[in-house]
Structure 1
Amino acid sequence: MPIYKRLLHVLTAFVLTPALAPAPASAADIDWPTYGRDHSNQRYATLDQINTSNVGRLTRAWAYQSGVKATFQATPIMVGRTVFLSLPFNDVVALDAVTGKSLWRYTHPRKKDYPLCCGPANRGVAVADGRVFIGTVDARLVALDAKSGKVLWDVEVADGDSARSESVATLTESDPLRKATIAGQSGVGIAMAPVVHRGKVLIGVTGVGYGLHLDSDRDGAPLGAVVGFAGNYGRPGFLAAFDVNTGKRIWQFDTIAPTRWEGEFRQATPDGVPLHRDIDKERADLPKYPDAARYGGGSAWSTPAIDSENGLLYFGTGNPSPQMDGSSRPGDNLYTVSLVCLEVETGKIRWHYQQVPHDQWGYDVASPAVLFDYPYKGQRVPAVGQAAKIGWYYIHNRLNGELLLKSDEFVVHQNTFTNPTPEGQVILPGVLGGINWSPTSVDAQRLIAYVPAIHWPVKYTKRAIPATPDRPAVEYTTLEPLMDVPRWGVLSAIDLASGRMKWQRQTAQPLVGGVLATAGQLVFMGEGNGSFNAYDAATGQTLWSDRLEAGVNAPPVTWQIDGVQYVAVAAGGNQIFGYKAGDTFQVYTLGK
């Protein structure tokens, strides 16, 4: 049944309370101090008080309800017995980590009428040097005093106006897309949680890989479709470093190559999967689009992993702009859809690995990179792993980018990298992934990665706006998540030594939100139906579950205070996936 039920008028836009002093820390306290627990992004906790033998006694300790019911993706930070939690639309709260008592709340004064590129969600704060840092939906970086919530500085990261573009295309009355509602717009924003390293706050922007997001025809239903037009829409993305004390920009790395962004015109991905490109036509068309890189896209979605010893960082880039229609951007479109390695001090690029050259399917490198040591040809190699939207786990030498291993598929591939047709081609994984932005966990001792994934086919269709006397015909494409086919989630334990699956656990709904693994041999993961589950890390068996009133679509964390281990997660749903919204931050500990 078509999803487009409501009017799309004309496509003219493609486009505080007093602070309380924290309780003194105990030698038994173990924090969750940064987005990925540490700069490796492993999201693996050495705590084992809660384990396979007693997790059935896990009970609710306290909860905080924010009053903001919207897509909730934040990783909470716990430092010095205080939880720092970012809310949808970028409010920040500080809570007592033992009791849940509110210490202060910062209310973000969002720019009036600012077009949100990607909804209200953000993925967390960074805490360092007595400050709390948050990137905002209106493309600002704000520093707060950690004790009071007072604003210390507030700087513009990007000019949102520079990404807005207009189209001359107007849909005819008979076109089915006239009956839809625009959900996504083209303002630049920030989704990732910042990370602090040696006096620098690292943050990147999203919303630059231009495309229209259309609402479904039902409240609480998933994203209706993504629509792509050829043309000069969008702008280059970037990752930047700012001084923690002043907010001054130190360096900026643009995710679009400054020269020869067309690359090598690859016929296949670097690991050998055919892309079905018309390379001769692209080469012939290249002179027609000399300014394509100025609109190149490449959002920075994932919080970087940092190798302090070697002074390197690793992050993923998004799709080229405009989305899905590559005719106005011939070539490989470097450095989009890539895992990128930079020098932390300078922002200079060391290497990149482009998973999908000339991406037309929305296969952003969205899930954060993870660092670990890896046995390879009899040696211990410093490695970086990344779970890809296209359904494989990649392991690289993190010093030079060499591909060391590509895992077996963690989702079944029915059809990938196919071109759109008027009838529509079903592809899987689709624009939702594989894996989406969800962070993975890695047990570096056992060399196991825990990956939450999505089985959700989409239809890739080419459409046309007929010519009229005053304008030419316009072609466009749509990627529509299919509602009349089975879809589900898959939680996988991947043996990184071999690339094979140790176990897989299918869930009723596609998984988005992230996982936590612990030394208690447990893996925690939430679902869109409100279930929050603990799995046996060795077998995938469900050992414990709680049901919350909203979708559990944020990454769980754990900490320890006075010898007591806590597990915590936000339950606020996810609009794009159609999961019920909420405003709860729930904390658990062992009952009697």
Structure 2
Amino acid sequence: MRLSGVLFALALPAQAGETDWPAFGHDASNRNYSELTQIDRGNVARLRPAWMFQTGVTGYFQAQPVMVDGVLYLSTTQNNVAALDPKSGKVLWTYLHKPRTEKIFGPPSNRGVAVAGGLVYQATMDGRVIALDAKTGKVVWDHEAVRPEEGETETASGLADKLGGKPVQGSSRLGFKMPPLVAEGLVIVGVTGAGYGLHVEDASGGLDGGAVVGIEGGYGRRGWLAAYDAKTGEERWRWYVTPSEGWEGGFVDRTADGIPLHRDIAAEKTAAGANRDAWRVGGGSLWMTPAYDPALGLLFLGTGNPAPQNFGLTRPGDNLYTMCLVALDVHTGTLRWYFQQVPHDEWGYDVAAPPFLLDGPNGTKAVASASKTGWIYVHDRQSGALLSRSEPLIKQKNLFVPPSPEGTVVSPGPLGAVSWPPTAYDGHLAFVQVRHAATTYTVNAVPAAPGRPEIRYTETGVAKGEPSFSTLTAVDLNGGGKIAWSTRSESRLSGGTLATAGGLVFSGEEDGHLDAHDAATGKILWRFQCGAGISGPAMTYAIDGRQYVAVAAGGSSFTQSSGFGTGDSLVVFALPD
């Protein structure tokens, strides 16, 4: 059924025997795991579409639905929201979003809503946090948190000529992609778009195809996470990724886990005096929903790359607190601890995937972070101490070797080993979609001219002759981070994973297949072609004794370059009656 402005009858009261999916990642642990067992290894081959909902909005359909009190809630690329009957897909109400500006960061996308206390919360690409009545879809409050173009220091005008006619995208614009987290009466959400600045667009549509990024200079923005009163929308606190004092850190020559960084620290320190205000435009986008431990009152959040992207001499130092897993006090936003995975990043290795909570060694309460660099890190939740690091998920090459004029081949590239799609964890194994690909980072320059200094920038391109593929990989986090199994995919994996107590792992592919794997072996037990690329995580719920699996199919951000089509559908599966 197409999304429309017509309001249908209100949802009926919740029926007995239902099991909800109440929040992104299933709950505040972010484990993307369900205890439901009706669909299992033995019968998943019989799984069939039960119903389908067409939103009428094609594009990067990245949302994970939420099911609360017998109603399924779904957001679209354009920040529309629909409330659906979870048994039939019947539309109960719709909210049609009217953006206040078309100046947003990147292609439009939204990764989901949060539902709590009778309200549906959404953070939008045009910088608003909105609360809707869960029964009617009517706006309860609408808070403008940021105007996307606010604070732009430079536009793209004139730079195309300076960079040999290459198309230049304007400086960073702030907006929201992540599903909000609702905790302690607060709606918590962070901005994307902070870590880019001016860059040259990639004509082929993706970083793997040769994007030119990281023009030297102060063109970025300052990332932040904020908490809003769940009843009124009033801002309660805001935490900035880049602090006004101390963002240079210690000019470390190794990562916290001992990997050499190959930095020219002497050159950075020489440049520090002229760049003391670099923190003001220092980047640090926030891509995905925090995990939350109510017993400790702590939020766990990954932060993005510093700005300007890939070119670091104008931002000397470690660039705190970009590229970190951080713990914040939920009531005040105060920083409790941080672990910086990549000080002074020059490769685009955002800590993008949502952290997830688990029980660590000897009963330790832990938090894990799957990284773009190719490891899963496990930390003590209270102190941040590194408890363990998994085996490498990919074959790393020239890790942390900086871009060079002759071109440096580095694996992983800026898409990482693990990007923003969530990891599923079943209490034993973590199931992660892993990208295996190398990138060539090349430093280029436009010579100085009268009235204009030299302009330096970093160009990224496909590393010729290097392998490029995806795997679904299971990591035993209770067994020292050993890889339990790894299955190579026929196309690029995207959207993240879902694990269930039925012994299954669901994983989406760019070519439109949703796959069900045996959680113990990785063997594919079932596949279905959804008609468009999967770029959001699947979820599962049960109502009236029947289990369903739902996934959005709208194409991926690489659809054009890969040749796969776009779509607009939520596809919902169940076993035959």
Shared fold per TM-score greater than 0.5: yes
Alpha-carbon distance in structure 1 between the residues aligned to 2:453 and 2:106: 31
Is the aligned partner of 1:512 residue 2:498? no
Q: In structure 2, do the counterparts of structure 1 residues 43 and 113 end up closer, same or farther at CA, with 3 Å as the change threshold?
A: closer
What is the aligned counterpart of 2:318 among 311, 314, 332?
Answer: 332
Q: In structure 2, do the counterparts of structure 1 residues 429 and 57 end up closer, same or farther at CA, with 3 Å as the change threshold?
A: same
Match of 1:428 in 2: 411
Match of 2:506 in 1: 524
Given that 2:534 and 2:554 are in contact with CA atoms closer than 8 Å, whether structure 1 keeps it comes out as: yes
Given that 1:213 and 1:224 are in contact with CA atoms closer than 8 Å, whether structure 2 keeps it comes out as: no
What is the aligned counterpart of 1:390 among 365, 373, 391?
Answer: 373
Question: Could you list the per-position Cα deviations for residues 171-221 of structure 1 after superposition, in whole angstroms to 9, with x for gaps in the alignment?
Answer: 586956x24464x75211101100111210000001111244655545799
Given that 1:47 and 1:520 are in contact with CA atoms closer than 8 Å, whether structure 2 keeps it comes out as: yes
Match of 1:503 in 2: 485
Aligned positions of 1:354-503 closer than 5 A: 354-375=340-361, 379-444=362-427, 447-482=428-463, 485-497=466-478, 498-503=480-485
Match of 1:253 in 2: 239
Match of 1:123 in 2: 111
Aligned positions of 1:229-244 closer than 5 A: 229-244=215-230
What is the aligned counterpart of 1:144 among 126, 132, 144?
Answer: 132
What is the aligned counterpart of 2:141 among 153, 162, 167?
Answer: 153
Q: Which moved more, 1:156-165 or 1:461-470?
A: 156-165
Q: In structure 2, do the counterparts of structure 1 residues 120 and 171 end up closer, same or farther at CA, with 3 Å as the change threshold?
A: closer
Given that 2:38 and 2:547 are in contact with CA atoms closer than 8 Å, whether structure 1 keeps it comes out as: yes
Alpha-carbon distance in structure 2 between the residues aligned to 1:168 and 1:58: 50
Question: Could you list the per-position Cα deviations for residues 290-340 of structure 1 after superposition, in whole angstroms to 9, with x for gaps in the alignment?
Answer: 211111111111201000011111010001111111111100010000001
Question: Could you list the per-position Cα deviations for residues 402-441 of structure 1 after superposition, in whole angstroms to 9, with x for gaps in the alignment?
Answer: 0000000111112211122223211111111111101001
Unaligned stretches of 5+ residues in structure 2: none
Alpha-carbon distance in structure 2 between the residues aligned to 1:107 and 1:297: 31
Alpha-carbon distance in structure 2 between the residues aligned to 1:475 and 1:306: 41
Q: Secondary structure at the match of 2:270?
A: helix
Give 1:456 shift. 2.1
Give 1:272 shift. 0.9
Match of 2:213 in 1: 227
Pairs aligned (count): 569
Cα RMSD of the aligned pairs, angstroms, is 1.9
Give the residue type in structure 1 aligned to 2:20: D
Alpha-carbon distance in structure 1 between the residues aligned to 2:37 and 2:269: 57
Q: In structure 2, do the counterparts of structure 1 residues 337 and 65 end up closer, same or farther at CA, with 3 Å as the change threshold?
A: same
Match of 1:37 in 2: 26
Give the residue type in structure 2 aligned to 1:384: V
Unaligned stretches of 5+ residues in structure 1: 1-15
Match of 1:4 in 2: none
Given that 2:207 and 2:460 are in contact with CA atoms closer than 8 Å, whether structure 1 keeps it comes out as: no
What is the aligned counterpart of 2:63 among 59, 62, 74?
Answer: 74
Question: Could you list the per-position Cα deviations for residues 523-562 of structure 1 after superposition, in whole angstroms to 9, with x for gaps in the alignment?
Answer: 0001000111000000000000001211011100000001
Q: Which moved more, 1:365-374 or 1:151-160?
A: 151-160
Alpha-carbon distance in structure 1 between the residues aligned to 2:156 and 2:437: 33
Alpha-carbon distance in structure 2 between the residues aligned to 1:491 and 1:245: 41
Is the aligned partner of 1:92 residue 2:81? yes
Q: Secondary structure at the match of 1:280?
A: helix
Alpha-carbon distance in structure 2 between the residues aligned to 1:22 and 1:113: 33
Given that 1:232 and 1:322 are in contact with CA atoms closer than 8 Å, whether structure 2 keeps it comes out as: yes
Q: In structure 2, do the counterparts of structure 1 residues 119 and 467 end up closer, same or farther at CA, with 3 Å as the change threshold?
A: same
Q: Which moved more, 1:261-270 or 1:464-473?
A: 464-473
Is the aligned partner of 1:569 residue 2:551? yes
Question: Could you list the per-position Cα deviations for residues 462-510 of structure 1 after superposition, in whole angstroms to 9, with x for gaps in the alignment?
Answer: 1111222232221111223457754111111001121110000111233
Match of 1:350 in 2: 336
Identity of counterpart residues, as a percentage?
A: 46
Give 1:151 shift. 0.9
Alpha-carbon distance in structure 1 between the residues aligned to 2:426 and 2:292: 17
Give 1:170 shift. 5.0
Give the residue type in structure 2 aligned to 1:133: Y
Give the residue type in structure 2 aligned to 1:17: V
Give the residue type in structure 2 aligned to 1:121: S
Q: In structure 2, do the counterparts of structure 1 residues 165 and 479 end up closer, same or farther at CA, with 3 Å as the change threshold?
A: farther
Give 1:233 shift. 1.4
Alpha-carbon distance in structure 2 between the residues aligned to 1:539 and 1:34: 29
Match of 2:535 in 1: 553
Q: TM-score, with normalisation over the residues of structure 1?
A: 0.93
Match of 1:51 in 2: 40
Give 1:511 shift. 1.9
